[in-house]
Structure 1
Amino acid sequence: MTAPDPVRAGRALNGAAAGILVLEGIAALFVPRGIAQSGDGLTSGRLTYLLVLAVVLILAAGIQRRPRGLVIGTALQLPLLLTGLFSGVMWLVAGAFVLIWLYLLQVRKELLGSPFGAPRVPEHGHDDGGPATTP
């Protein structure tokens, strides 16, 4: 199944990816509060990692329109998942975000033909499912 308007679908999916990345960045900002009260506590290294990750996730949300934006967002899923090393609950939270991200890539593949490529615009003159033109 492909989208009737691939360009529009691509923009919508890029917006969804940006939204997910912003939510991931916000979730990463909640981790310091949780780890400050448990285990080794909040060390400067952990705090730096989490703050940098949150900023990078939010900045990555801003580049989802660019060709490599989705690849960068996908690569950032691993550092997000590794926040589970600081707090056990982050395995669940980050895991849920990773599953949502994978679902987004699957939907993108079904609608646009590729999880990372640009939307394929149907050529004129081919049966693209649109309204028929009259001569």
Structure 2
Amino acid sequence: MTAGIPAGYGIDTDPARIDRALVHHWLSTDAYWALGRSRETVDRAADGSLNFGAYDDSGSQCGYARVVTDLATFAWLCDVYVDRAHRGRGLGLALAAAVRDHLAPYGLRRVLLATGDAHGVYQRVGFRPLADPQRWMVLGQEG
């Protein structure tokens, strides 16, 4: 179930390395779930989250993932994005696996995510559909 990081890439959680302008560009212009998201919102979200950056050997950021968590019982994986020029190399899978592995020592009861198109990627690192989705509710806008 372990997904390795593709050759030529690295992933870390150093917030100083995250190129927030680039992340804002990716999310607000190319991520179906965040189209039009403001830079202020991207920055506030990053400030309140555990951020993962994926980088190529030159140090250029080529991917991003964000986790909202209390590091005790719950986490939500969101805003997973791989630059179009780096897709198809397993980097999304590696980001999801890095998140899973980073959170494992905390013994969280639940790690959730929502995806419209990458179920197979997340299943490969252990995610599965909710067994009882009718128990879950949402406050606010869906989608």
If the length of structure 1 is used for normalisation, what is the TM-score? Answer: 0.29
If the length of structure 2 is used for normalisation, what is the TM-score? Answer: 0.28
The higher relative CO (CA closer than 8 Å, separation ≥ 6) is in 1
Q: Which has the higher helix share?
A: 1
| Larger Rg over CA atoms | 1
Q: Which has the higher strand share?
A: 2
